[in-house]
Copies of this chain bind each other. A is one copy, B any other.
Amino acid sequence: MTIRVAVLGMGSVGKGVLEMISRKDLGIIVTGVADSKSGLIDPKGLDIGAVLSSKKTGACGNPSITAKDVVACADYDILVEVTPTNAGNGEPALSYMKMAIERGSHIVTSNKGPISLYLKELNRLAGEKGVLVRYEATVGGAIPIMHTLGNGLAGNEFQALYGVLNGTCNYILTRMAAEGLTYDQALAEARELGYAEADPTYDVKGIDAAIKLVILANTIWDNGASLDRVDITGIDLLTTDALRLAEEKDCTIRLIAEAFPERGVLRVSPRIIRKDHPLVFEGTLNAITLETDMAGEITLIGKGAGSVETASAIIGDILFISSHVRSN
> Which residues of A does B touch, CB under 8 Å?
20, 24, 26, 142-144, 147-148, 151-156, 275-276, 278, 280-282, 292, 294-303, 306, 308-309, 311-313, 315-316, 318-320, 324, 327-328
What are 15 contact pairs spanning A and B, CB under 8 A? A20-B155, A142-B292, A148-B152, A151-B316, A151-B320, A154-B319, A155-B312, A155-B316, A278-B278, A278-B281, A278-B301, A294-B308, A296-B303, A298-B300, A299-B299
Report the nearest B residue to A289, measured CB to CB. Answer: B301
Closest residue to A142 on the B side, CB-wise?
Answer: B295
Q: Are B147 and A312 in contact (CB under 8 A)?
A: no
Q: Kindly identify which residue among B153, B275, B311 contacts A316, using a CB–CB cutoff of 8 Å.
A: B153
User: Which residues in B have their C-beta under 8 angstroms from that of A294?
Assistant: 20, 142, 308-309, 311-312, 315
The answer to whether B306 and A302 have CB atoms under 8 Å apart is: no
Q: Are B147 and A316 in contact, CB atoms less than 8 angstroms apart? A: no
Closest to A141 in B: B295
- A140 → chain B closest CB, angstroms: 10
**A152-B313 Cα distance, complex, nearest whole Å:** 8
A320 pairs with B154, CB closer than 8 A: yes
Chain B neighbourhood of A142, CB < 8 A: 292, 294-296, 298
Q: Which of B20, B301, B312 contacts A301 (CB 8 A)?
A: B301
Give Cα distance in the complex from A315 to B155, angstroms.
7
